[in-house]
């Protein structure tokens, strides 16, 4: 058991390179190489924590298939506790085939699989209740679990003294009402809501971080952190104190895949070490800075001590 329990989506990403056109029915095309990796918010965050040296549990749903075995083995490889992983019968592990063009652009083929069937009754609540932090991530693409079921889990966690956090997936096709149907039931049961700026705007219909945070708090959330990409994060705590936490200067951005999930890992690590919200957010910024300087969702993540050393020697963006 660990202090941090991450619940949400996973996927296996098969990255084919290079794919510049698709065959007609019955046709064949060759490509150079295939790379198999894990993905999905909960998996990315958990593996980042593992690489930082922070213990965590992961609760995701996979199929009884080889790809499900791969998700579990990769999590274990980085020291993540997989006792809560759900193996579903008659469903397949979520999967994305990523086609990388010679230009570097990517096209995606995705099947939702087990992510769409994850539900409250699947989850081992004993694992959740024994944690100190429960982080649900992937809201908007967990068809069964989103909204009332997520709210039920968060409420139960809070009743057990667990601090709760929620992050979402940016679904640009969703209406404001769909966003609110999924998010508003959860807000009264959240200690921290940590969406990106596009997500926060889609939910609220507002543009200014302070106004957005006030709306979320009026709906019951205690603390709000809005991720602002290269501009850092905006924080508003339960007492109404607001702060802008700057991002770190980095020499070169290689790949932004998983940056938000790595930020969440750093933020959770900071909270679990007793840091104040703004200091935890700063650690989140430093962790994301490592992510974006290497290809892949967690390749660039290093042990916590190295990230803290990076913080001491690296200036913040002005």
Report the pLDDT averaged over residues 261-276: 98
- The pLDDT confidence band at residue 107, using thresholds 50, 70 and 90, is confident
The answer to whether the beta carbons of residues 4 and 266 sit under 8 Å apart is no
All domains in the chain, ordered by first residue: 4-10+39-93+112-313 (3.40.1190.20)
The answer to whether the beta carbons of residues 71 and 95 sit under 8 Å apart is no
Whether pLDDT at 254 is above 90: no
Whether pLDDT at 1 is above 80: no
Cα–Cα dist 278/164, whole Å: 17
Give the pLDDT confidence of 146-199 residue by residue, as tens digits.
Answer: 999 999 999 999 999 999 999 999 999 999 999 999 999 999 999 999 999 999
**What pLDDT is attached to residue 141?**
94
Rounded to 5°, angle at Cα 21 from 17 and 27: 105
The answer to whether the beta carbons of residues 14 and 33 sit under 8 Å apart is no
Measure the CA dihedral 73/74/76/80, to 10°. Answer: -140
**What pLDDT is attached to residue 196?**
97
**Per DSSP, what are the bridge partners of residue 222?**
none
Give the pLDDT confidence of 118-157 residue by residue, as tens digits.
Answer: 999 999 999 999 999 999 999 999 999 999 999 999 999 9
**Per DSSP, what are the bridge partners of residue 137?**
8, 167
| Residue appearing with tokens 């969440």 | 264
Q: How high is the mean pLDDT of the chain? A: 96
Give the pLDDT confidence of 202-229 residue by residue, as tens digits.
Answer: 999 999 999 999 999 999 999 999 999 9
CB-count exposure of residue 254 (10 Å: 0-12, 13-18, 19+): middle
**What pLDDT is attached to residue 281?**
98
Closest CA to 116 of 81, 151, 82, 140: 140
Cα–Cα dist 204/234, whole Å: 15
Please indicate, yes or no, whether the overall pTM of this predicted structure exceeds 0.75. yes
């Amino acid at each position: 058991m660990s202090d941090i329990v991450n619940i949400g989506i996973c996927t296996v990403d098969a990255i084919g390179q290079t794919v510049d056109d698709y065959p007609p029915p019955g046709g064949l095309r060759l490509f150079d190489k295939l790379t198999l990796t894990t993905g999905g918010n909960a998996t990315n965050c958990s593996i980042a924590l593992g690489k930082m040296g922070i213990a965590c549990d992961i609760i995701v749903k996979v199929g009884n298939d080889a790809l499900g075995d791969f998700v579990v083995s990769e999590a274990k490889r980085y020291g993540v506790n997989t006792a809560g992983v759900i193996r579903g019968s008659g469903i397949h592990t979520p999967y994305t085939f990523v086609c990388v063009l010679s230009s570097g652009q990517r096209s995606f083929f995705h099947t939702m699989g087990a992510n769409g069937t994850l539900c409250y009754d699947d989850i081992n609540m004993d694992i959740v209740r024994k944690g100190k932090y429960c982080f649900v991530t992937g809201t908007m693409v967990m068809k069964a679990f989103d909204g009332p079921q997520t709210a039920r889990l968060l409420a139960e966690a809070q009743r057990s003294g667990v601090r709760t956090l929620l992050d979402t997936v940016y679904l640009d096709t969703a209406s404001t009402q769909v966003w609110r149907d999924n998010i508003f039931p959860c807000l009264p049961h959240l200690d921290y809501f940590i969406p990106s700026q596009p997500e926060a705007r889609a939910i609220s219909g507002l543009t200014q971080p302070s106004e957005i945070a006030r709306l979320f708090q009026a709906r019951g959330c205690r603390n709000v952190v809005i991720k602002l990409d290269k501009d850092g994060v905006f924080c508003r705590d339960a007492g109404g104190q607001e702060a802008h936490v700057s991002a770190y200067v980095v020499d070169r951005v290689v790949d932004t895949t998983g940056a938000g999930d790595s930020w969440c890992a750093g933020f959770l690590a900071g909270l679990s070490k007793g840091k104040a919200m703004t200091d935890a957010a700063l650690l989140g910024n430093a962790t994301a800075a490592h992510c974006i300087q290497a290809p892949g969702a967690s390749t660039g993540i290093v042990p916590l001590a190295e990230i803290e050393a990076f913080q001491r020697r690296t200036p913040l963006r002005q």
